[in-house]
């Protein structure tokens, strides 16, 4: 069941999927497209409609930065799966708990640094 939208891509490998998850879930990516986002009652909305404006290089397993970002993405998945969530918890709180777990682990900072390196200097 899909609540309101579904985006799907067939990754060529798990590493490519973890690489993309790292990029798409980073603050570095979000902040670079914030000015392009529609505004609503609670701020910027619809990241999904502008995220592909980012200059995201195609995954290349031969590139050290791409491999590191994939490794960080895999670790983030493992950390997120262990985050203490509560039955029926509002999604905003659940998302906050996961972000906290990623920060506490240190993987959030590693992803941010890698995505900053990947996308280059921000023009915002």
Average pLDDT over residues 16-36: 86
pTM above 0.75, yes or no: yes
Largest CA distance in the chain: 44
- Tell me: pLDDT of 58 over 80: yes
- Tell me: pLDDT of 108 over 90: yes
Cα separation of 59 and 17, whole Å?
Answer: 9
- Tell me: pLDDT of 11 over 60: yes
In the chain, domain spans: 14-119
E strands present in the chain: 38-40, 43-45
- Tell me: pLDDT of 114 over 60: yes
Average pLDDT over residues 47-55: 71
pLDDT of residue 123: 66
Cα separation of 65 and 79, whole Å?
Answer: 21
pLDDT of residue 36: 64
- The token pair at 99 is 């972000």
Distance set, CA 74 to CA 14, 22, 25, 42, 66 (Å): 9, 9, 12, 31, 12
Cα separation of 20 and 82, whole Å?
Answer: 21
Cα separation of 39 and 92, whole Å?
Answer: 18
């Amino acid at each position: 069941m899909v609540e309101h939208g579904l985006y799907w891509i067939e990754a060529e490998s798990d590493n490519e999927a973890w690489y993309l998850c790292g990029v798409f879930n980073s603050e570095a990516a979000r902040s670079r497209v914030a000015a392009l986002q529609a505004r609503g009652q609670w701020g910027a909305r619809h990241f999904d409609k502008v995220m592909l404006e980012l200059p995201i290089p195609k995954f290349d397993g031969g590139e050290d930065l791409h491999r590191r970002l994939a490794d960080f993405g895999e670790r983030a998945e493992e950390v997120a799966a262990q985050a203490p969530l509560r039955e029926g918890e509002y999604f905003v709180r659940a998302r906050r708990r996961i972000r906290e777990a990623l920060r506490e682990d240190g993987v959030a900072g590693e992803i941010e640094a890698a995505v900053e390196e990947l996308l280059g200097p921000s023009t915002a």
